[in-house]
Structures are given as C-alpha cells and as structure tokens.
Amino acid sequence: MNLRVEGVSFRYPSGVLALDGIDLAIPSGQLLAILGENGAGKTTLVKLFNGLLRPSQGKVYIGDWDSAEHTTAALARRVGFLFQNPDDQLFERTLAREVGYGPRNLGASEAEVKRRVARALKLVGLHDMADAHPYDLPQPQRKLLALAATIAMDTPILVLDEPTIGQDEVGRGAISRILTDLHRMGRTLIMISHDMDFCAEHAQRMLVMLNGKIHVEGTTEDVMGQTKKLDEAEVAPPQLVRLAQALKMPGTPLTVDDFVDEYKQWRKKKKSK
C-alpha cells in the first residue's frame, strides 16, 4: 500500500508552523528512516498518516484513501503506530489482552484474535508471558509488548517512533530481528529515530527534516554521504561513516562487513601506488 503526501503544511493552534509544503511518496514495502533534530517536524509528519493530526493544507493519501475522508479509527486499519513511550499505549491486565485489544476492536473473530496474539507475541519473544501483567515487565520489554500490539493490528503500514530508545543491546538486537522479519513480510515500515547506526543498518531510504521541511532525501548510502547537508540539520553520520571519512576512504560503509570489505580494498589500492 503506497503512501503519498502532497503539498502538506501543518500549523499548531499556538501558531507554530511545524510542516511547510511537504511532498513525499513512500512505495509499498519500503523501510524508510526519518531523521532530524527535535522540533524538525518528524513526529508531526507521521501523525498525519493515521489521522492523529490533520493537515492545515495539502493532502495525505493512504493507498487509494484520502485521509481527510476517513476517521482515525478507519485509518488504524491501514496504519499502525508504535509510540515512543510504551506507557502511553499499554492499559490492559495481561499481555494477551493487550495484544488482542486492537484486532478485537476492529471486529476480528476470537479465533483470529488468538491467532494474531500468538503470532505477535512469538515474534517479539514474549509468548511465554501471555498471562503476565504488562507493568510487571521492565521498560524494554514493555516496548516490545507495545510493538506486538501494533503488529497484531495487521496493518500494511507501520510507523515506529524511536523503536530502539531505552533498549539495551539485547533489546536492540530483538528490534533489529523483528524489523527484518516484518520487512520480509512486505510491510511498509516508517521509522523515526536518533539511532543513526541502527538506521544505517536497516533503512533502504532516508529523509532528513529541518525546520518543517525535507532537507535531504535519497537512498541511505546517498544521504549518509552528504556531510554538509547532515551538518546543516545537526545530524551526525553513524560511527562507521565517520571513521571512513576520517580515514579518507572513498565509500560510505553502512555495516561492519561493508566497512571491512571497503577498508581492505582501500588499503590494497594505497599499497599499490
């Protein structure tokens, strides 16, 4: 399901212009990272996708739907949303009831609800804790639970606001595996994050926002190589890119394996001169 934004601006009641003339197309199945400093407009933009906010000007299309013609409840069938703080999302008494609430509210049969709950909890590694209370979990696991509840909605588009925040290395690895699995399933994934290394490893495409506008966009490798544009938006490239730039290597390695391969080739060329 494609997502399209045409000439969108958004002004808060306080008068702050948070988005200024955004044009954006996100093809079905893409994994997109949206970057930028606090206040750049990232969260405002993604809240337009599921009707939590409505544009002051312009149009947002979710597949063949004009979002202005549909309620937030209807849009929730197409766009799932993982909040930055899981405690803004969790309210049920057990993990199973939490994950099942969305599908049940959308009218899924009890058999279908049970199937989605089991699948989502297994995907995030919490299937053995289905009867536990959500607030008996530590914060990193509550984030995984909130993600399971979002996944269980079975929406073609998922928006993930800071998915790795508050996670230790184990939790970060779990999020990485989950996103890879969801992407293989064909879901469109839109990720807001300050975790540049994580974004560089997973995103196919990136856009960087500055002052409510799209400052730069393109493939992950292309965006990460635009040092001047990133500096203007106060976005630091990931560690591997910074190391490659410090060594004056020609490429833009995004993973450890990429860096090792490019480093070997670079050293070989230097020795041959």
Beta bridge partners of 10: 19
The answer to whether residue 18 is domain-embedded is no
Edge to edge, the sheet with strand 188-192 lists 79-82, 157-161, 188-192, 31-35, 205-210, 213-219
d(CA 159, CA 256): 27
Tokens linked to 154 = 């079975």
Contacts of residue 75, defined as CB under 8 A and 6 or more positions apart, other chains included, come to 49, 50, 51, 62, 65, 67
The answer to whether residue 270 is domain-embedded is yes
The answer to whether residue 28 is domain-embedded is no
- Res. 123 pLDDT band, cuts 50 70 90: very high
pLDDT tens string 248-273: 998 888 888 889 999 999 988 888 76
Q: Domain of 256?
A: 238-273
The answer to whether residue 257 is domain-embedded is yes
The answer to whether residue 255 is domain-embedded is yes
The answer to whether residue 29 is domain-embedded is no
d(CA 4, CA 24): 6
- Res. 130 pLDDT band, cuts 50 70 90: very high
- Domain total in the chain: 1
| pLDDT over 70 percentage in the chain | 100
pLDDT tens string 19-29: 999 999 999 99
pTM of the model: 0.90
pLDDT tens string 214-261: 999 999 999 998 989 999 999 988 888 889 989 999 888 888 888 999
The yes-or-no verdict on residue 162 having pLDDT over 80 is yes
The answer to whether residue 156 is domain-embedded is no
d(CA 223, CA 175): 23
Identity of the residue numbered 175: I
d(CA 59, CA 66): 7
Report pLDDT for 22.
Answer: 97
